[in-house]
Chain A
Amino acid sequence: MTTANTNAIERYRNNFLKEVEANVEEGHMVKMCMQCGVCAGSCPLGNAWEHSPQKIFMMIRAGKRDEVLGSDSMFMCTSCYNCMVRCPRQLPITHIMHGLANYAHRLGLAPKGQPTREFATLFWNNAIKKGRVNELKLTLGHYFRGGLVSGIKEAMAMQKIGLGLFLAKRLNPMEIFGGHGVKDLKGFHAIIAKAKEIEDRKKGFSA
C-alpha cells in the first residue's frame, strides 16, 4: 500500500465523499447527482462497464472506497461527453470520471493491467522524455508490452500501415535512436517538475 493511500485513509476515515470532494477534479459536484440514470443510459459503451457513472456516484456516497478506486470504469470513458451534455443537473461527469481515474492511479489502487491506464502511462513517459511524442517508440512500446513474441506478431500485422507512413514521410526510422526533442529540454523538464510539485501540493501528495 502506498504512503499516500495510507495517509488518505487515515485522514478521511469513513467519509469517502469528503475525500473525493477534496482530491478529485470537480469532485465537489458528485453530491449534486440525483440518480436519474440518464448518464448510464446515454453512454455508448455503457454495457461494457462494470459501474456506470450513476452507480459510481452512489458508491462514493455510500463510502465504497475500495470498489470505486479499484473500478476499471473510469478508464473505459472515451470522452464522448454524451453523459455530460444530457445530465439534467449539468454535472461535469466526464471530468469527474477522469479525475477519479487520476486519483486512483496516483494512489496505486487502479486495476493493474488495465489497457487504457497502461497506454496512458506509456504515452506520458514517452512524451516528457524529450518534450515531444516519439511515435515510433510509442507504438513499438505498445506492441511489445506483452513480450517479444506477441510484439513481433502485432508489429507484423501493422507493417503495411508502417510502410505507408514511411513512404508518406510521416514516420522516420531514425527516430529509434534517441529521436528529436524540444529546443530547451532542461527548461521543459523544469516546467514539468514545477507543475508536478504544484499538483502534489494541491492534492496532498507532497511528502
Chain B
Amino acid sequence: MASIATNQTILVVGGGISGMTAALEAAECGKQVILVEKAPVLGGRTARLYRYFPKMCHPTCGLEINLRRLKQNRNVRLMTMTEVTAVTGSRGNYEVTLKVSPRFVNENCTACGKCGEAVTAEIPNPWNYGLDKMKAAYLPHNMAHPQRYVIDPSIVGTPEGEKAKAACPVGAVDLAMKEESVTLQVGAVIWATGWRPYDANKIQPYGYDRFPNVITSLEFERLADPQGPTGGKILRPGDGKEAKNIAFIQCAGSRDENHLRHCSRICCMASLKQTQYVREAWGDAGKSTIYYIDIRAIDRFEDFYQMVQKDATVSFVKSKVAKIVENQENGNPVLHGVDTEGYHRYATEHDLVVLAVGMEPEITGVNLPDDIILDSSNFIEGSKDMGMFGAGAAASPLDVNRSVQSATAASLHAIQIVNKTARAEA
C-alpha cells in the first residue's frame, strides 16, 4: 500500500467537543489541521447541555478554554457551514471535496445584532431542540464561535432579507453568496461527526409524539438552562405549569433489539445529574423518580450514584415502564408497569416524563466514504487503509470526558500517519 504522503495536513470532520479536541491536540503538536463543521458555530451538542456530570460545572467553561486555544493557534483552519461530500485516494494522500453553504454574512460582521432586530421572520430554534423560535437572522448562542450572525436561507430573496441587509451598519450582509465546492489534499482524516438522540417517536408505547408532557433528556437540558426557552425554569411544554414531580425513564431506545442494540452508557448518569436540576429548581418540594432496568453509573461514577441515592427527593423504581397514558383532566402522564422488586403493578402519575433517549451516530449531512468500517450499531471503527479514524461519540456512545480521551487518541493516530509518511518522503 502506498504510504507516501504528498500532504501532512490532518482533516477533522465535526466541530463538537471531540472535533475541537482532536484538531487542537494535533495543531499544538505543530501539525496543520483543517477543522470543518456543518453548523455555523463550534461546540456541537455539548454546547447545548446545561451542566456536566459529575462536577456539575457548565459546558461553557470547557468551551471557552478550547476557543481560547483555537484563537491562539495558527495551525488550525476553521471552516463552518461546511460538509464533506466525497473522499478519494488512500492513507497519506486523500482528496477531499467540501461543500460550503452560504452564511450570507461576511467577515465584516461585528455581531452588533441590528440585522436580528430588523428581521421579523422566525424559524424553529435548533439550539433549543425546536422548543421555541428564533429570528431568521441570528447568532446561534452567546458563546458562538465565530461570532458572526447567520441569515437563514428561507428569507434570502424576500423583503425580510433586504431588511437585514439595510440594517447592517458595516455592509456585512451579502445576499448574493453562493454555495461553493472546495477540493483539498490531506494525509489523514478524523471523523468526529458526533451523535444524535434516538428518535423518541419510534418508541410507540411512550407516546412522545402524542403527549406534550413527555419530553427527551436533551429537551430537559434546555428547560433547565437559563439560556433555554423557559429562562431556566422547569415548566412543562403542555401547559407551562411548573413541573415538580418528574419521572425519568431509562433505556428509552437503548438496550433494545427493536430500537438500539447497544447501551448508550451516558443516559443513567445524565438522569442522575438531571435529578439534581430538579433539586436545584424546587429544593425539597421537587420529586424525581428514576425508572430503570439497572443503573449503569459507568467507570468512577458510582459515588455520584450513591450521592443521588441519599437525596430524599429522588426515588428509584426497578422497572422498565411498559406504557404511558395521559390523564385527560390535567394532562399528567400516567406510567404503567410492573416492578422487579416484588412484582408490584403500578400506575403512577407525574407532572412531566423525561425519556433518557439513547445515542446513535449522527448521519444527517454526513457522507462517510465506502472505506469506513462501522460496528453493528453504525459507530465508526476506522478505515480499511488505516488512514481515517473515528473520534468521540462518532466512534462509540461516550460522555464528554471520554469523548475528549477518544479524540486525543484519534489525534495521535493521525499524527503517526502523517509523520510516517513524512519520513517516507525524506
Contacts and interface: CB of A to CB of B under 8 A. Distances in A.
B337 A41 contact: yes
Interface stretch (B142-150, B163-171, B176-184, B338-346): B338-346
Contacts of B320: 36-38, 41, 88
A38 B322 contact: yes
A104 B303 CA distance: 47
Contact of B343 (A34, A40, A86): A40
A42 interface: yes
A111 interface: no
Interface in B207-230: none
B87 interface: no
Interface in B296-352: 319-323, 336-340, 343, 345
B256 interface: yes
Interface string A22-58: 0000000000001111101110001100001011000
A88 B322 contact: no
Q: Which of B255, B256, B338, B343 has the most CB of A within 10 A?
A: B338
B5 to A, nearest CB: 46
A114 interface: no
A46 B340 CA distance: 14
Contact of A41 (B251, B256, B259, B336): B336
B338 A54 contact: yes
A41 B321 CA distance: 7
Given A55-B343, A88-B255, A88-B258, A42 B293 contact: no
A37 B319 contact: yes
A90 interface: yes
A136 B13 CA distance: 74
Contacts of A46: 338, 345
B205 interface: yes
B322 A37 contact: yes
A176 B339 CA distance: 51
Nearest to A41: B322
B425 interface: no
B239 interface: no
Interface in A110-147: none
B257 interface: yes
Contact of A35 (B255, B258, B336, B340): B340
Nearest to B346: A41
Interface residues of A, number: 19
B322 A47 contact: no
A36 to B, nearest CB: 4
A34 B319 CA distance: 11
B320 to A, nearest CB: 4
A194 interface: no
A202 interface: no
> What's the interface size class on B, roughly?
20 to 34
A100 B7 CA distance: 66
A144 to B, nearest CB: 37
A54 B255 contact: no
Given A34-B293, A86-B258, A88-B257, A41 B343 contact: no
Contact of A47 (B205, B339, B340, B345): B345
Contacts of A89: 257
Given A34-B293, A36-B293, A86 B205 contact: yes
Nearest to B342: A55
Interface string B229-252: 000000000000000000000010
A38 B338 CA distance: 8
A37 B338 CA distance: 6
Contact of B257 (A35, A40, A47, A90): A90
Contacts of B319: 36-37, 41
A86 B257 contact: no
Contacts of A34: 255, 293
Contacts of B338: 37, 40-41, 46, 52, 54
A85 B259 CA distance: 12
Contacts of B323: 41-42
Interface in A82-113: 85-90
Contacts of A55: 343
Q: Which of B255, B259, B322, B339 has the most CB of A within 10 A?
A: B322
B259 to A, nearest CB: 8
A27 B255 CA distance: 22
Contacts of A40: 322, 337-338, 343, 345
Nearest to A88: B256
A134 B257 CA distance: 43
Contacts of B259: 88
Interface of A: 34-38, 40-42, 46-47, 52, 54-55, 85-90
21 contacts: A34-B293, A36-B251, A36-B293, A36-B320, A37-B320, A37-B337, A40-B337, A41-B319, A41-B338, A41-B345, A42-B205, A42-B322, A42-B323, A47-B345, A52-B343, A85-B258, A86-B205, A86-B322, A87-B257, A88-B258, A89-B257
Given A40-B337, A41-B320, A89-B257, 20 more contacts: A34-B255, A34-B293, A35-B340, A36-B293, A36-B340, A37-B319, A37-B338, A38-B320, A40-B343, A40-B345, A41-B336, A41-B337, A41-B345, A46-B338, A52-B338, A52-B343, A54-B338, A55-B343, A86-B322, A90-B257
